[in-house]
């Protein structure tokens, strides 16, 4: 596998509407319009799609792994219904105060992805998110940080202090259109 055949996505704000403070049940799963169709377009171009997501609610005892798995089952089914697939989900169950390496803006999830797919580095791998911690984690891991304006993306963009090489798009579909056009 090459870096050009992998895209990393955050979950809330990129694929699903944000639920404050946490998505606590599968019933709260609301796809962002066009997001799963964008995944299908990536897959049709031979690109693997993985999700990297913080799930601090597990560590805080607000929901359990069965709930996370049920939400991810809905996410996988939404991808399939749109003609695509999500190859893997990498998540951090720890709250911020745990100080773990896997919680974004830490790079542990990205390092795990690189190892799983036998990539020496993530240089050239787009990592799409809507929050500053998504962008910081991608940048620190050597991936291409991509900001979408869905979810918290507009607020993140307005707040500034973005990593130097961030690419910005209105939503996942716009990113995929642009990225596939450049790859052609």
CATH at 137: 3.40.50.1000
Q: What is the rounded distance in angstroms from the CA atom of residue 10 to the CA atom of residue 156?
A: 14
Query: Is the model's pLDDT at 131 over the cut of 80?
Result: yes
Query: Is the model's pLDDT at 7 over the cut of 70?
Result: yes
HSE (CB half, 13 Å, CA atoms) of 29? 19
The answer to whether residues 55 and 72 touch, using CB atoms and an 8 Å cutoff, is no
Mean of pLDDT values over 48-75: 94
Task: State the residue range of the domain holding 41.
Answer: 3-183
- Considering its fold, how many domains does the chain have in total? 1
Q: What is the pLDDT of residue 113?
A: 97
pLDDT in tens, 82-91: 999 999 999 9
Query: Is the model's pLDDT at 45 over the cut of 90?
Result: yes
Q: What is the CA radius of gyration of the chain?
A: 15
pLDDT in tens, 82-123: 999 999 999 999 988 998 999 999 999 999 999 999 999 999
- Model pTM score: 0.96
Mean of pLDDT values over 152-175: 96
Q: What is the rounded distance in angstroms from the CA atom of residue 149 to the CA atom of residue 158?
A: 10
The per-residue b/e assignment along 146-160, b for 16 or more CB within 10 angstroms, e otherwise, is bbbbbbbbeebbeee
pLDDT in tens, 17-42: 998 888 999 999 999 999 999 999 99
Q: What is the pLDDT of residue 2?
A: 66
How distant is the alpha carbon of residue 5 from its chain centre? 16
Is the Cα dihedral 87, 74, 83, 147 positive or negative? negative
* Residue count (the chain): 184
Phi, psi of 59 (to 5 degrees): -65, -25
Query: Is the model's pLDDT at 53 over the cut of 80?
Result: yes
């Amino acid at each position: 596998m090459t870096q050009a055949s992998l895209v990393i996505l955050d979950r809330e704000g990129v694929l699903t509407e944000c639920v404050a403070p946490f998505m606590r049940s599968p019933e709260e799963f609301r796809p962002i319009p066009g997001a799963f169709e964008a995944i299908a377009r990536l897959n049709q171009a031979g690109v693997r799609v993985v999700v990297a997501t913080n799930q601090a609610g597990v560590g805080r005892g607000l929901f359990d792994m069965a709930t996370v798995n049920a939400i991810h089952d809905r996410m996988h089914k939404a991808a399939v219904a749109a003609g695509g697939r999500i190859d893997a989900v990498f998540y951090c169950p720890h709250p911020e105060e745990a100080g773990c390496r896997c919680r974004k803006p830490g790079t542990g999830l990205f390092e795990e992805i690189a190892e799983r797919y036998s990539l020496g580095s993530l240089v050239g791998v787009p990592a799409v998110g809507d929050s500053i911690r998504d962008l910081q984690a991608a940048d620190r891991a050597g991936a291409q940080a991509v900001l979408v304006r869905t979810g918290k993306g507009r607020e993140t963009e307005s707040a500034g202090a973005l990593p130097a090489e961030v690419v910005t798009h209105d939503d996942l579909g716009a990113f995929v259109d642009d990225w596939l056009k450049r790859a052609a």
